[in-house]
Amino acid sequence: MSFEVIKGLLTLKLSLVGTTALAVVLYLFGNLIRKRVPFFVKFCIPAPVIGGFSFALLAWLLRSSGILGFSFDTTLQSPLMIAFFTTVGLAGSLGLVKKGGKTLIVYLVGCWILAISQNLIGSTVAKFTGIHPVLGVMAGAVSLEGGHGAASAFGPTVENMGVNGAFVVAIASATYGLIAGGLLGGPLAKWLIERFNLEIKTDEEEGISYEIDKGESEPVTSNSLINMSGLILVIMVLGELIAGYIKNITNFVLPGYIGAMFIAVIFRNINDVLKLVNIKWNTVDVISDFSLGIFLSMAMMSLKIWELASLALPLVIILVVQTIFILLYAAFLLFPLLGRNYDAAVMCSGLVGHGLGATPNALANMNAVCERYGVVSKKAFLIVPLCGAALIDLVGIPNIVWFINYLVK
């Protein structure tokens, strides 16, 4: 850690250890605030976002006042990010699709269409408002379907491709999405139920089980941590090699974390059949939570909020259009396709939750609706998290990568 004058501003330069320590402290600070302020729990805003964004605001104020700037060594951010997306890929068991029946297929395809539509809408509105169309993608599926994790992952990649402000636009959009997704999902379901006078009962398909076998709970040990870390690291290396190979032969930018995620999906589905490795899911969850927490804290605390000023109005326009679209899409297209019943209404509240925010928003929305009407939709609680947290990425991520590469040219 040292002080240096950079462009006339006294700047505190933090080493790798100092940067990581600050990220952990901010994560813990975010957890503390989240426990004490109900607003953050209600709208499912993650602790790393609270702590990291609070520091980013402080850094902005200090910089604007000419008092102090900050410089970080975020070397660990990238491997932590790749590790997180690898754990996401390991959750992508296509065998679970069978448990959802035809309704899961309809919902999943609906999620894929939504992700593509968000990028089309974002890039089109961005062009009309006079900003780079890739910024519209950042305010599209990257931040809305993808949340803060994808925003923090794709933002730096796009900025390295020459699109300034991509990172801060993605993070700002993801933060908006968390709040909007938590506010709008429940009221939409209530409107659908009352508008169509729906009977409050579930409509489980014959022969379909809506219970997921999670296996026996196993403790996290040093041995399981080493084994699962080894598995994740090997998949990360393979993903990095494949991403580099694709770039060399096609000049198509495929970030290492995308390659790792899809290698993880392939491995998971092969392993489901051949039983090559006994995956310790509790340990994988710990690695996932740790990786996401620290990498997201680093991403948030290094936000350059001052870059958002010139993009504020176009961004607001894009997000308003995106919000109106998802409400209309859920109510007038997906709701009828899902069966125009109570389960469909609950699932639509979930779609708005993760389509604008994140899977925890979806679960919170559905839980609120089911508590309000006294009937739990087991179908919704299987299908929505399974699609929103894992299966959507099978099309959502390649869709984002394609849009970015196409529009940057």
pLDDT reported for residue 252: 63
Nearest alpha carbon to residue 378 among 212, 244, 242, 260: 212
Residue 409 vs residue 215, higher pLDDT: 409
pLDDT in tens, 147-201: 888 888 899 889 988 898 999 999 999 989 888 888 899 999 999 999 999 999 8
Three-state secondary structure of 32-51: HHHHHCHHHHHCCCCHHHHH
Q: pLDDT value at position 409? A: 67
Helix (H, G, I), strand (E, B) or coil at 313: helix
Residue 212, pLDDT > 60, answer no
C-beta of residue 328 within 8 angstroms of C-beta of residue 351: no
In whole angstroms, give the CA distance from residue 139 to residue 170.
6
Both tokens of residue 184? 């709008």
Please give the helix or strand (H or E) that residue 149 lies within, else none. Answer: helix 147-160
Task: Yes or no: say if 221 and 361 are a contact pair by the CB < 8 Å rule.
Answer: no
Of the candidates 104, 24, 74, the one whose C-alpha atom is nearest the C-alpha of residue 390 is 104
Output the pLDDT for position 3: 87
Amino acid identity for residue 170 in this structure: A
Interval 311-356: pLDDT, tens: 889 999 999 999 999 999 999 999 999 999 999 999 999 999 999 9
One DSSP character per residue, 204-253 reads: PPTT--------------HHHHHHHHHHHHHHHHHHHHHHHHHHHHH---
Q: What is the pLDDT of residues 90-113, one digit of tens each?
A: 877 776 666 667 888 999 999 999
pLDDT, greater one: 45 or 238? 238
Task: List the one residue out of 283, 273, 270 whose CA is nearest residue 232.
Answer: 283
pLDDT of 213 strictly over 60: no
Angle subtended by helix axes 342-356 and 378-386, to nearest 10? 30
pLDDT at 135: 96
Nearest to 46 by CA among 165, 151, 128: 151
Q: Which two tokens stand for residue 229?
A: 């870390």
Q: Which residue has the higher pLDDT, 382 or 209?
A: 382
- Statement: residue 397 has pLDDT above 50: yes
Q: What is the pairing mode between strands 2-6 and 69-71?
A: unpaired
pLDDT tier at 309, thresholds 50, 70, 90: confident
- Under the banding of pLDDT at 50, 70 and 90, the label for residue 44 is low
d(CA 280, CA 137): 36
Inter-residue contact 246 to 252 (CB < 8 Å)? yes
What is d(CA 305, CA 56) in angstroms, rounded to the nearest whole number? 7
Dihedral sign from CA coordinates of 306, 310, 315, 317: positive
Distance CA 191, CA 197 (A): 10
pLDDT grade, residue 358 (50/70/90)?
Answer: confident
pLDDT reported for residue 316 = 94
- Percent of the chain topping pLDDT 90: 48
Instruction: Check: CB of residue 374 under 8 Å from CB of residue 404.
Output: no
The pLDDT of 121-150, averaged and rounded, is 93
Question: In this structure, are residues 182 and 43 in contact, taking their beta carbons and an 8 Å threshold?
Answer: yes
Instruction: State the pLDDT at residue 207.
Output: 47
Query: What is the residue-averaged pLDDT of the chain?
Result: 87
Other CB atoms within a 10 A radius of the CB of residue 256 amount to 21
pLDDT tens-digit map of 266-305: 899 899 889 999 999 899 989 988 998 898 888 889 888 8
Q: What is the mean pLDDT of the segment spanning 126-135?
A: 95
How far is residue 162's CA from residue 157's CA, in Å, rounded to a whole number?
9
pLDDT in tens, 225-271: 999 999 999 999 998 888 777 777 776 666 667 788 888 988 998 99
pLDDT band at 206 (very low <50, low <70, confident <90, very high): very low
DSSP string, 92-141: --GGGHHHHHHHHHHHHHHHHHHHHHHHHHHHHHHHHTTS-HHHHHIIII
CB-count exposure of residue 130 (10 Å: 0-12, 13-18, 19+): exposed
